Structure 1
Amino acid sequence: MKKKLILAGTVLMGAGLALAGCGDSSKTSDGKTKIEMVQYKPEAVKAFEKMEEKFNETHDDIELTIESPNEAMTILKTRFIKEDQPDIIGIGGDVNYSNFLDSDMLVDISDFDGLKDIKQSYLDIDKNLEFIPEDGTYAVPYVANAAGILYNKEMFEENGWEIPTTWDEFIELLDTIQASGQLPLYFGFKDTWTCLAPWNAMACDLSPADVCQQVNKGTTTFSEEYRELADKIIQLLPYAQNDPYAFSYNDACTAFARGESAMYCIGSYAVPQILSVNPDMQIDSFVFPANDNADEQVLNSGVDLQFSVMKDCKNKEAAYEVLRFMLEDENIQIYLDEQNAVPCKEGDFELPSMLDGVKEYIENDKMTDYQDHHYPSEMAVDAMIQTYLMDGDADSFLAKFDKDWIRYNRDLIRKVQKYEEEHGEGGNES
């Protein structure tokens, strides 16, 4: 089967990892329709336990089971190979979603009435994750996170520092803080994934949102589109602590929490870790001003959790009822309160205070996805960026980016370009 071609490389984790699937029976002993959801965020298990209990208390005809396992993606891929799919999956808006969609495993949910309330930016982000343009909609964006620059509000207020809105203003601020004898930035680049935080946030302003699709079509290269990004990200290093590659993500969170730097280039997901060190810290954020046109800047925000209905689901309408329940404002707020997340649905939600500085971007639907959501994991772009930051050789870095992209996406590039040939210019626009 097509899906086995995509997923056959997954390492099977053993029968003990497989969860009970809807394939066993679609009805309970008392006649209720069984709906099983598997979602990939174990850190949100308490929120989902609350919602599962609430759903089952208020629905007499459907029994909902929500699983939140560790290593959920591995478990899901194992189950897919065994053709033991849950009814609904909760996953991120990243390359895993792209692969599942390309494997023809998801149901077109264009007729789901809840989609009308989802912010257009997040629907567009999902469309940009399609390898080949698909007719229809295959996921309901639920919550997102946001990345830019976290800053110490107390330090800014004490020193009279203003929030920068352009790249030149940002560099001027870095110089001002450094001249005062304080450290502007802190990095935890020992953990290579943290190198992607400033990279993604700056890319929103400096490269097209669909740059990966354009490269696959053969209309541009990363050497061309990422040149300014590469030149600018390395300019941040003199404003951080010495040898940032010796410090981990936890080290950076701790240092920022203790006031050792004025700012931290990371996403909102880091705030709980920071507050665990300093619960009284006043944190806010601003969009990374990577260019000199403030009007063109957008918030780096990707879909952190979205729901898709699987093709093997036996009762689509029951699955829709679960999705309607999940999208009720009070249930979304449960998740926001526990996970410091951003709602993908339009509405009057209470956002975490550390998002005050980017609230206007969220409210005005000015958001663009993380570039790394399009990168294959085998390519290890985070490690490539770390190596570049250490050696400073932009030409070699960009050349390797182009070379490795072709290496790890050869089949996809062939498929995209064949589609372009068959459908003509503009056929891959979403």
Structure 2
Amino acid sequence: MDIKPADGRTTSSGTTHPARTLDRRSLLRGSALGIAAMAASPLLAACGGSGSSGSGGGTTVTFGSNAAVPQPKGAYETLFKAAHTATGMSVKPNWVDHNTFQQNISTYLQGHPDDVFNWFAGERMQFFAGQDLVSPVDDVWQTIGAHYTDAMKAQSKGKDGHYYLVPFDYYPWAVFYSKSMWKAKGYEEPTTWDEWIALAKRMKKDGSIPIAFTDKDGWPAMGTFDYLNMRMNGFDFHISLMRNGDKWNTPQVKAVLDQWRQLIPYYSPGFLGLTWQEGAQQLLNHQAGMMVIGLDQIGTIFTGAKADDLGFFAFPEIDPANGQQAVEAPIDGMMVSKSPKNHAGAVKLLKYLGTAKAQQLWLGSNPADIATATGVDASKYTAPQNAAVKLIGGAKNLSQFMDRDTRPDFADPVMLPALQKFLNSPGDAASILSNVDKQAKSIWAAGG
């Protein structure tokens, strides 16, 4: 199978290449579990020949999964057994490692895909909906809709207003800290930018690293940019910037980088050479006071007895007009291929997977995420999970992270090195944004 970018587009130079942007979860699981076998995983191809059209029938639903590693594969196997009991549908999974799945998804969907497959909300979902490569799932939402917030519903729709995704699990990005360290030091959660900077100064005076910022992998910086932009320019401006790519060389974006400069003196020494795991260890070991990261990552470091020591607060307010209304919360879910062999079975399966009961069963072995449906038994959640539910539940808008809200051929090849260059040379912001703007216009013009 030919390997193409996740969205099948070409770069501005006209060269098609594998999508290099890894999702947060693939980076996490690959590093935490050390799965050397990933490189040897099979290429993405349907396991059940589900390319024939028609409403379909039978008791087997094929499922293209990006979870080939031991976990969450084991959690899915448990889930599929429960789904069979609940729906009568037997799930036949097609296990593929996360990155191979992502690199081959365009070819896969244009061939003979499985009935149902794992994918992401945001631009990644909307692109395939716009290409008519997936089926709407409005019939599923007629059953599950009452169990989702308006913000979650919005992230599950295509640009045509139809539903295309059944969200399954997600997690927030926030500013994380060790509760025990903060209690010993007498620190309090800030809500505004000025309070945050004042706290960072106090931590530095106390001999700690104020913010465990580590960006060797490049992607962690995207989360900070997203929050700064949403807090300063608003959610609508941010999403327009991500989707249209036509406002990069503007006063609004320049202001974001100017604001960002204020944080750099409080970052971990040598942060461009450190991985997120090293930053998380600084937090765990009380060397650092705070870290802007996702629960999906930091939740795998604060485990066991340390799990409930993990606290967090929403990224601080900068402009009162925007407040803290938007939350960065990447959503994973399931979609239905264009012509599933067993459409009726796929609908039954997704109606079950869209319930809190199914999602909580899966999360029993994955405490770094939370269920997308309402009505889970919160007593089974860790303290960070319960806090995450509260943070996301109160959000007016949910963003999906830069590499999901924008095009893959722009997020990684352009923005990742641009943000690293800015962090290495903050004084070059003007020329960096000018270059980003030129590349963005070229990519969007070439990609339609």
Task: Note whether the superposition's TM-score is higher than 0.5.
Answer: yes
Q: Which structure is higher in RCO with an 8 Å CA cutoff and minimum separation 6?
A: 2
Preserved contact between residue 149 and residue 288 of structure 1 (Cα < 8 Å): yes
Cα distance in 1 for partners of 2:113, 2:240 equals 33
Distance 1:144 1:58, change over 3 A: closer
User: In structure 2, what is the Cα distance between the partners aligned to 1:371 and 1:329?
Assistant: 24
- Find the counterpart in structure 2 of residue 73 from structure 1: 102
1:17 to 33, 37, 43: 43
- Taking only aligned residues, the RMSD between alpha carbons, in angstroms, comes to 3.1
**Aligned mate of 1:400, from 415, 435, 443:** 435
Displacement, 1:354?
Answer: 1.9
1:242 is the counterpart of 2:269 = yes
Q: Which moved more, 1:198-207 or 1:209-218?
A: 209-218
Distance 1:387 1:218 in 2: 19
The residue aligned with 2:173 is 147
412, 420, 438: which is aligned to 1:386? 420
Partner of 2:12: none
Q: Which moved more, 1:264-273 or 1:374-383?
A: 374-383
Q: Is the 8 A contact 1:143 1:342 kept in 2?
A: yes
**TM value normalised by structure 1:** 0.83
Q: Could you tell me how far apart the structure 1 residues matched to 2:81 and 2:339 are?
A: 25
Q: Which runs of 5+ in 2 are unaligned?
A: 10-15, 20-38
**Cα drift, residue 55 of structure 1:** 2.0
Write the distance in 1 (CA, Å) between the matches of 2:186 and 2:239.
Answer: 43
Matches for 1:127-146 after TM superposition, within 5 Å: 127=157, 130=158, 133-146=159-172
Work out the percentage of aligned pairs sharing the same amino acid.
18
For the structure 1 residues 279 and 52, does the alpha-carbon distance in structure 2 shift closer, same or farther, using more than 3 Å as the test? same
Aligned position for 1:178? 204
Change (3 A) 1:237 1:337: farther
SS at structure 1 position matched to 2:250: helix
1:38 maps onto 2:39 in alignment: no
Q: What's 1:164 paired with?
A: 190
Match for residue 394 of structure 2?
364
* Separation in structure 1 between the aligned mates of residue 290 and residue 117 of structure 2, nearest angstrom: 36
Task: State the 1:248 CA deviation.
Answer: 1.5
Match of 2:155 among 93, 112, 125: 125
- Residue identity matched to 1:361: L
The separation in 2 between residues aligned to 1:63 and 1:359, in whole angstroms, is 31
Q: What CA distance in whole angstroms lies between the structure 2 residues aligned with 1:25 and 1:326?
A: 22
- Paired with 1:277 and 1:63, the residues of 2 have a C-alpha distance of 34
TM-score, with normalisation over the residues of structure 2? 0.80
Q: Kindly state the Cα deviation for residue 126 of structure 1 after the two structures are TM-superposed.
A: 4.0
Whether the 8 Å CA contact 1:299–1:358 is kept in 2: the answer is no
**Gap change, CA 1:364 and 1:312, over 3 Å in 2:** same
Q: Which residue of 2 aligns with 1:47?
A: 75
Q: Secondary structure at the residue paired with 1:321?
A: helix
| Aligned mates of 1:217, 1:79 — CA distance in 2 | 26
Secondary structure of 2:172 counterpart:
strand
* Maintained 8 Å contact 1:146/1:342: no
Q: 1:409 Cα deviation (Å)?
A: 1.5
Q: What are structure 1's unaligned runs of at least 5 residues?
A: 416-430
Code of the residue aligned with 2:287 in structure 1: it is: E
Residue identity opposite 2:441 in structure 1: I
Q: Map 1:211-226; keep pairs closer than 5 Å.
A: 211=237, 214-215=240-241, 220-221=247-248, 223-226=250-253
* Per-residue deviation, residues 321-351 of structure 1 (Å, max 9, x unmatched): 1012112322211233333213222224424
Q: 2:445 aligns with which of 410, 413, 425?
A: 410
1:341-383 Cα deviation digits (max 9, x unpaired): 1322222442432245554332334342035122323333122
Q: Which runs of 4+ in 1 moved over 4 A?
A: 8-16, 215-222, 276-281, 355-359
Alignment partner, residue 86 of structure 1: 114
Match of 1:321 in 2: 348
Map of 1:310 onto structure 2: 337
Contact 1:256 1:274 in 2 (8 A): no
Indicate if the aligned counterparts of 1:202 and 1:290 stay in contact, CA closer than 8 A: no
Q: How many residues align?
A: 400
